[in-house]
Amino acid sequence: MIIAVDAMGGDHGASAVCPGVIEACNRNSDLEIALIGDKTVIEPYLDKADGSVRSRIHVVHAEEVVDPNESPAKAIRCKKHSSMRIAMEMVRSGEAKGCVSSGSTGAIVAGGVLVVGRLKGIDRPGLGILLPTKKPVFLLDAGATVRCKPLNLVQFSLMGSVYMKDVEKLSSSPRVCLLSNGSEEIKGDDVIVAARERLRASDDLNFGGYVEANRVPMGDADVVVCDGFSGNVMLKSFEGLIKFCRGLVKETIQESWLAKAGALLLYPSMKRLGARVDYQRYGGSALMGVNGAVIKAHGRSKAPAIANAIGVAYSFVERNALERIREDIAQELEKVAAEETLC
Amino acid sequence: MIIAVDAMGGDHGASAVCPGVIEACNRNSDLEIALIGDKTVIEPYLDKADGSVRSRIHVVHAEEVVDPNESPAKAIRCKKHSSMRIAMEMVRSGEAKGCVSSGSTGAIVAGGVLVVGRLKGIDRPGLGILLPTKKPVFLLDAGATVRCKPLNLVQFSLMGSVYMKDVEKLSSSPRVCLLSNGSEEIKGDDVIVAARERLRASDDLNFGGYVEANRVPMGDADVVVCDGFSGNVMLKSFEGLIKFCRGLVKETIQESWLAKAGALLLYPSMKRLGARVDYQRYGGSALMGVNGAVIKAHGRSKAPAIANAIGVAYSFVERNALERIREDIAQELEKVAAEETLC
């Protein structure tokens, strides 16, 4: 399986992406990587790969890089030789089964729509990410479609449910909830209320109504659906608070020798706990609703997070997520067409 | 100073509110409470107050209670004998300097607008809350105005800045930022972009542009401004994640005798840390933009959180927050009028 990887994105660029690619190849022996970016920058980092891994990494030279400050759509349209655009084109042409980039969210979404193309029946894509919560919770949209129409939220619900069922292999029917500012019916705005009414009428989903942000870590829903703005706020609130709490714990430990001794004894357990809530473990979010496995890695990704994002792309492809979503959406469209004929 | 307290709101009703009122009276010797609700329910809880405190608690009987599931505006309009409405009326008439309720946010906002009345120059109120972050950060709106116009966000910025300066006594000019889905200029939706342009043109504010949710706990802004939906998502994400992490830590400690021993040594430090991030410490959010000190306590408030919410009302009144906000808004309105005359 070939996955195209943008070597030039994110805060750390090739210095994080290249070791991440090597780690991903070490994990999966049937994985090949098309590593796209400035050859002269990339190649020195690949010297560390052993022979069998190195032979599976194919460097594709790209002269341009998409800058996070430029207009996403313009960058994708104009920078035809950028590493991100080339990665997307390899997915469209079928040369690669999927692609991974830690570049700007906006450009990845624009590339997904303009280059890879939308899935038939999907109006806007959504970024889906598994949260490091009690049990895996799929948040959709984490930042692709900043503001949504009710139809977008309904489509996210459908795609999220298929993802949890077919990629994450959830045994029961995934419970899909709309993120809202309270659990009561009087909560939400017009868009959320309209989406709720449409979801309630659906026979295909296990729709659980509203979920509040404080219940998300407890796993009250398997799929949490919201617009990209709210999803981004929730995801970043979690990230920021975990970082803040880590800092507080470190400070607290320095307070006394008693605390230091306690921390020493607790260290192995706390290290495991730290790994449990580390966003790097969940390095990739899938751009749901486009015609390929397009995975966004966190902008601050270091090598392990890049390897995990490539792992998300690998599972997405291996478990036929795209085909399943495509089938489900097609069935849904047929149903709607049949209902319209009846009316 | 008399503060009116709704005894019937929140998950725990009088069983939490009454001991909270007693605790608040113990803390401030010049505080008197008008405690509003069902006399027969309230009075047994007050037996625990010593004489000097008991004499400062005046029970006001109310026959009705606002239900969190009813339409907020309708409940406030129709239930004239409800504990919440009576508390608001005491503020309007001047019998009480402020009021506190742990009832539904919607009803408190409706009561603030319909009974207490809006401040001249303010279009919509916002709930302002101090977050338990590195340094105090004032989040506005935490849930009063679900969706906002740019003007609302500009007014929240002004009120938040005055609050941090005059009530929280911040030494430097408070840094006001708009919550967004990224720090770059291309982020935000139309409303946020329009608000940013207006705030940037203002001479009276120390406007810092966008802040992302992950930077809020680090104190990148003194005042974080957003619509009530996003504020609610952020606040509840913090709350939920803290609860989730506490649970994880407890589980982790049970893993081995080494971890248990370590936890025992760390206990005193961790207890202080736990208190540091406990939302109960920040029990009250102020309804900014109405003609009085209207404080909402968390629905899950127990006695200490109620006492803290009463403390927020006390500080709000003692530090003349209302008058300062009123003056600042009046100056702003004058300026706008002068500019219009010039044009």
* Tens digit of each residue's pLDDT (9 = 90 or more) over A98-143: 999 999 999 999 999 999 999 998 999 999 999 878 788 999 999 9
Mean of per-residue pLDDT scores for chain B: 91
In A, residues 124-153, which contact B (CB 8 Å cutoff)?
A: 133-134, 143, 146-147
Segments in chain A below pLDDT 70: 276-282, 336-337, 339-343
Torsion from C-alpha of B91, B169, B136, B291, nearest 10 degrees: 20
Residue B212 touches chain A, beta carbons under 8 Å: yes
| Residue A256: DSSP 8-state | -
Residue of chain A nearest B270, judged by CA positions: A252
Size of interface A-B (CB pairs under 8 A): 187
Predicted confidence (pLDDT) per residue in A152-164, tens digit? 999 999 999 999 9
C-alpha span between A145 and B162 (Å, rounded) = 34
Which residues of chain A have a CB within 8 Å of the CB of B182?
A: 105, 232
Residue B281 has pLDDT above 70, yes or no: no
HSE-up (13 A, CA, CB side) for residue B310 = 34
Q: Does the predicted interface ipTM exceed a cut of 0.85? A: yes
Residue A239 touches chain B, beta carbons under 8 Å: yes
**Is B269's CB within 8 Å of A277's CB?**
no
Residue B59: what residue type? Answer: V
Q: Which of B16-25, B28-37, B239-248, B271-280 has the lowest mean pLDDT?
A: B271-280
Burial environment of residue B194 by CB neighbours within 10 A (0 to 12, 13 to 18, 19 or more):
middle
Q: Which of A265-274, B3-12, B83-92, B149-158 has the lowest mean pLDDT?
A: A265-274
Q: How confident is the model at residue B283 (pLDDT cuts 50, 70, 90)?
A: confident
Q: Which of A286-295, B163-172, B306-315 has the lowest mean pLDDT?
A: B163-172
* Shortest Cα–Cα distance, B43 to chain A (Å): 31
Predicted confidence (pLDDT) per residue in B171-220, tens digit? 889 999 999 999 888 899 999 999 999 999 988 899 999 999 999 999 99
Query: Which of A278-282, B70-74, B80-84, B181-185 is most confident?
Result: B80-84
The pLDDT score that the predictor gives to residue A168 is 86
Domains in chain B, CATH or no CATH each: 1-122+289-343 (3.40.718.10), 128-281 (3.40.718.10)
Give the helix ranges, DSSP H, for A122-256. Answer: 150-166, 190-200, 228-253
The pLDDT score that the predictor gives to residue B41 is 96
Share of chain A above pLDDT 70, in %: 96
Share of chain B above pLDDT 70, in %: 96
Task: Give every strand in the sheet of B175-179, ordered side by side.
Answer: B57-61, B32-37, B2-6, B98-101, B293-297, B284-288, B126-131, B137-140, B223-225, B175-179, B206-211
Cis peptide before B220 (omega within 30 of 0): no
Residues in Cβ contact with B341 at an 8 Å cutoff, skipping those fewer than 6 apart:
none
Tokens of B115: 């009974």
Residue A11: what residue type? Answer: D
In A, residues 254-293, which contact B (CB 8 Å cutoff)?
A: 255-256, 258-259, 261-270, 272-273, 276-277
The pLDDT score that the predictor gives to residue A152 is 95
